[in-house]
Amino acid sequence: MSSRTLVLGGARSGKSAHAEGLLTEAAVTYVATARRYPDDPDWDARIALHVARRPSTWHTVEASAPADLPALLTATQYEDPPILVDDLSTWLVGVLDDADAWEGDGAEAIAGDIDAIVRSVATCRARLVLVTAEVGLGVIPSTRSGRLFRDHLGALNARVAEVCDEVTLLVAGIPLKLR
């Protein structure tokens, strides 16, 4: 049976670096879920920092379309290298973007994508480490789209945590083992 680990944390909490440190194998499949935006050099710089930190032996796969990530996880075999997904919150942003859900409720439009990712995590046969933002510790967003994202990410995190063997929360760079 493979092991599934969920690493949660706030912005700049060290969650990605912690998740990377959990994998000591030379070969790792790093799944990047962030989309690149042509007019956002700050975002490009953040992505570049993540790329520079990864060992050269790790293989990077970009899974920026909602269906990419569940398909990749479902296709795994026991002998495959470990997989690190960084991160579920940027994956959810893509799901909401593609469903044009920001100004409306969006729950029905994205329910299938969320069900698919939870099923694929539960059935992934390779060692799996997932990174996601913890939204329960933040300020209540003042916009409809902010609340939509917070609510869906909180529900997604809870569902993924249910199917993971280990759950760790990063606070101020300190890992707190929840399960």
Give the sign of the dihedral formed by CA 139, CA 21, CA 17, CA 69. negative
Reference 156, options 95, 82, 72, 84; nearest CA is: 95
Question: pLDDT tens-digit profile of 105-146?
Answer: 666 779 999 999 999 999 999 999 999 999 877 677 888 888
Name the one residue in this structure whose structure tokens are 């994956």: 91
Q: Averaged over 32-52, what is the pLDDT?
A: 84
Q: Which helix (H) or strand (E) holds 92?
A: helix 88-98
Q: Which active-site residues does the annotation give?
A: 50
Distance (Å, whole) CA 84 – CA 128: 6
Global confidence as pTM: 0.91
Residue 149, helix vs strand vs coil: helix
